[in-house]
Structure 1
Amino acid sequence: MKLYFSPGACSLSPHIVLRELGLPFEAVKVDLGSKKTADGGDFKAINPKGYVPTLQLDNGQILTEGPAIVQYLADLKPEAKLAPANGSWERYQLQEWLNFISTEIHKQFSPLFNAANPDSVKDAQKTKLAQRFAEISPLLEKQDYLTGSDFSVADAYLFTVLGWSKYFHIDLNQWPGIAGFVERVSARPAVAAAVEFEAQAKKAA
Structure 2
Amino acid sequence: MATGLTLYGARGSGAVAVEAALTLLEVPYALIDAETFDPDDKASGDQVLSANPMRQVPTLVLPSGEVMTESAAILICLADLHPASRLAPRPSDPKRAQFLRWMVFVSSAIYSLYWVKDEPSRLVPDPAGHGSLEARVLNRISDCWGIMDSQVTPGGYILGDELTVLDLYVATVSRFQPRRKRLYEVAPKMGEVVRRVDIDPRLHALWKDRMGFHEGWEG
The reply to whether TM is greater than 0.5 is yes
Partner of 1:172: 183
Partner of 2:44: 36
CA distances 1:138-190 after superposition (whole Å, capped 9, x unpaired): 566752222111111111111111000356x9633324323322211101123
CA distance in 2 between counterparts of 1:138 and 1:130 reads 12
Partner of 1:203: none
1:106-185 → structure 2 map (5 Å cutoff): 106-114=111-119, 116=121, 118-138=130-150, 142-165=154-177, 171-175=182-186, 176-185=188-197
Partner of 2:20: 16
CA distance in 2 between counterparts of 1:99 and 1:141 reads 18
Gaps of 5+ in 2: 122-128, 213-219
Letter in 1 for 2:166: A
Partner of 1:66: 71
What is the number of residues matched between the two proteins? 196
- State yes or no: 1:198 paired with 2:203: no
Which residue of 91, 103, 110 maps to 1:86? 91
CA distance in 1 between counterparts of 2:192 and 2:151 reads 11
Residue 100 of structure 1 deviates from its aligned partner by 0.7
3-state SS of the aligned residue for 1:188?
coil
Letter in 2 for 1:50: R
- State yes or no: 1:103 paired with 2:105: no
CA distance in 1 between counterparts of 2:22 and 2:152 reads 24
Letter in 1 for 2:101: E
CA distance in 2 between counterparts of 1:80 and 1:110 reads 32
Whether the 8 Å CA contact 1:16–1:190 is kept in 2: the answer is: no
CA distance in 1 between counterparts of 2:27 and 2:99 reads 21
CA distance in 2 between counterparts of 1:180 and 1:54 reads 30
CA distance in 2 between counterparts of 1:196 and 1:101 reads 23
Q: Which structure has greater helix proportion? A: 1
3-state SS of the aligned residue for 1:146?
coil
Evaluate the alpha carbon distance shift between residue 130 and residue 42 of structure 1 in structure 2; reply closer, same or farther with a 3 A threshold.
Answer: closer
Whether the 8 Å CA contact 2:34–2:48 is kept in 1: the answer is: yes
Whether the 8 Å CA contact 2:142–2:183 is kept in 1: the answer is: no
Evaluate the alpha carbon distance shift between residue 57 and residue 142 of structure 1 in structure 2; reply closer, same or farther with a 3 A threshold.
Answer: closer
Higher RCO by CA contacts (8 Å cutoff, separation 6 or greater)? 1
